[in-house]
Chains A and B, each alone.
Chain A
Amino acid sequence: MQLTGKSKAALIIGLLPAFLIYTVFAIYPIIQSFYYSFMEWDGFSEMEFIGLQNFENLFQDPLFWNSVGNNIFVVIASVFGQIPIALFIALLLNRKIKGLKIFRTIGFLPVVLSTVVISLTWSLIYNTKDGMINEILRAVGLDFLAQNWLGDTKWSMVAVCITVIWQFVGLYLIIFLAALQNIPEEVMEAAKMDGASEWVTTWKITIPMIWDTIIVAIILCISGSLRTFDLIYVMTHGGPSHSTDVMALYMFNETFSNLQYGYGSAISVFIFFFSLILIGIVKKVLGQKFI
């Protein structure tokens, strides 16, 4: 529709609320983050401009790099845990299985639950004394395998990652299932007629046909797990001794516990660019190779 002079006012009225609230509360904070990252500030007293000092300190901070490393660990565990499991189950469900609906309902259930509820539930499951996992191990006579899953630096990261994987497998399962059901029946029929085995059909036809979806899922999985915060905050608070610290959590603690607003903002800026660049790289690499 073309606008007449009179309806210019309507245009402004229509777009202004969204523009204002989005600019002030989503864009402006990001810009502020950049500004504060050049300051030394405890949140109360006067700010002091210190240039790139925060970033210099950041790049020499072993605890920060520890959190970056842990974050990458979560990303890798998510991509290599969630995507293959989800794809495998989706392929099994795509065979005109009886009870498909029930399997799908159960599969997606964890996705709708809040991260806090999931984290607290799994904290109970991992509990040393009465947790489900240790109880099962004791019941089958494997007492010696019982661990303090979240309290032992050897296991904490693995335990956290299992929960992360559990939480989101269902999302990718549904995404893959939808893509699989979009493959035209004739394609599959033709493959069968040619005598291709199921194994070959899956690898040579099914997977390539949903490859775009797989890439979208991988990108989603990376950006989602890069943002892990709630789950670890509730389950371990980054401990024991920083073994599960991730970037957002380290930023949170530096800012609000150690009152280093400038330093925390520098971490925020780092997270912002790190996310954009990583996703850019993944898009480029996966996209060019296979499409």
Chain B
Amino acid sequence: METTIKKTTQSALPLPQSTRKLSVKNTLIYAVLIIFSVINVYPIIWMIINSFKSEKEFAVNQFGLPRTLVIDNYIEAWGTANLGILFKNSIFICLLATILTVLIGALASYFLARIEFKLKNALYTFFIFGMLIPIHATLVPMFILLKNLGLLNNPITLLFPYIAFHLPITIFILTSFMKAFPKDIEESAIIDGCGIFRIFWSIILPMSRPALATVIILNFIYNWNEFSFALVLLNDPALQTLPLGLASFAGQFTVNYGAQMAGLTMSMIPIIIFYLFLEKEIVNGMTAGAVKG
């Protein structure tokens, strides 16, 4: 403290030295943060901007704004990549898998969190163990299993691995949330004559809303982005999901960058909008999923 005071009194500059030092430091900090942000977001912006340029313009003017907005790329991408079908398939499988995982998981979590029975802890550990399984170690047997069950290349093929592998994290998050409710909740309900499922549906489920939001978002994003199972289990183009379709589209048309960028932009925009609107919930959900998984 003393030294700074001395310095300031001696200093002839308009700004006290400590403040000046501080502002240099602040500028540096902002510079670093801005560089970090640019690196983070520029690849995406670069691609979106270039998706509106013709092949010729892209070759000569990669970093400027497009001189004229060319939407040919979008028309081509939508047509050849069958983006409409890919979107439809992805939305269908994501919604169905998410709803089922959360419903089945919530029901199981309710019993695991609120009801005493033998083997309860063993069963809980058994479910949680699933978070440790590296999914790639199951690709081959999953393929064989679904093949034997006649479930390959079916609109609901992906439901099985998606539900099975996301139940552990869903159960983990929901069980720890439900455990925190006070004990007398069910007791008063039982006195009122409510059955066990009635308590689940009209008391526990509504009370778990924040945790349900977390697992719904988590499941949806994981399913929406999932690639490996889709790659192994589906080869009918009519059933492909968005990531799988995009990957094969890019493989086919390596030369036409414009169309590829347009396809990528279209598939990215919904998730970015979703993210900007629900940022808090998505960030919470994904970090919870990561830290706990």
Contact = CB atoms under 8 A, between A and B. Distances in A.
Residue of A195, A220, A234 ringed by the most chain B CB atoms within 10 A? A234
Contacts of B136: 227, 229, 247-248, 251-252, 268, 271
Interface in B26-77: 29-30, 32-33, 36-37, 39-41, 43-44, 46-47, 58-59, 62-63
A21 B160 contact: yes
Given A106-B41, A120-B264, A178 B287 contact: yes
Contacts of A106: 37, 40-41
A216 interface: yes
B127 A120 contact: no
B32 A92 contact: yes
B116 interface: yes
A171 B275 contact: no
Contact of A25 (B104, B115, B142): B142
B66 to A, nearest CB: 15
Nearest to B167: A22
Given A92-B32, A105-B279, A271 B43 contact: no
Interface string A235-273: 000000000000110011001100001001100110110
A116 B286 contact: no
A106 B33 CA distance: 11
B106 to A, nearest CB: 9
A275 B142 contact: no
Contact of A33 (B108, B114, B138): B138
Interface residues of A, number: 91
A109 B196 contact: no
A30 to B, nearest CB: 6
Interface in B130-163: 130, 132-142, 144-145, 160-161, 163
B117 A272 contact: no
B14 to A, nearest CB: 23
B228 interface: yes
Interface stretch (A2-10, A57-65, A183-191): A2-10
Contacts of A26: 130, 133, 138, 161, 164-165, 167-168
Nearest to A247: B136
Interface string B73-86: 00000000000000
Contacts of A255: 139-140
Contacts of B104: 17-18, 21
A97 B145 CA distance: 53
A32 B196 contact: no
B246 A120 contact: yes
Interface string B92-126: 00000000000011011011101111000001000
A29 B247 contact: no
Contacts of A104: 283
B115 A121 contact: no
B214 to A, nearest CB: 14
B171 to A, nearest CB: 7
B167 A18 contact: yes
Contacts of B114: 1
Interface centre among A21, A26, A279 (most CB of B within 10 A): A26
A82 interface: no
A291 interface: no
21 contacts: A1-B186, A2-B116, A14-B196, A18-B167, A21-B163, A22-B127, A24-B160, A32-B141, A103-B33, A106-B41, A109-B272, A113-B44, A113-B225, A113-B272, A114-B267, A122-B43, A220-B290, A227-B135, A233-B231, A252-B232, A272-B133
Interface of A: 1-3, 7, 10-11, 14-15, 17-19, 21-22, 24-30, 32-33, 36, 43, 85, 89, 92-93, 95, 97, 102-117, 119-125, 127, 130, 132, 135, 139, 166, 169-171, 174-175, 178, 195, 216, 220, 223, 226-227, 229-230, 233-234, 247-248, 251-252, 255-256, 261, 264-265, 268-269, 271-272, 275-276, 279
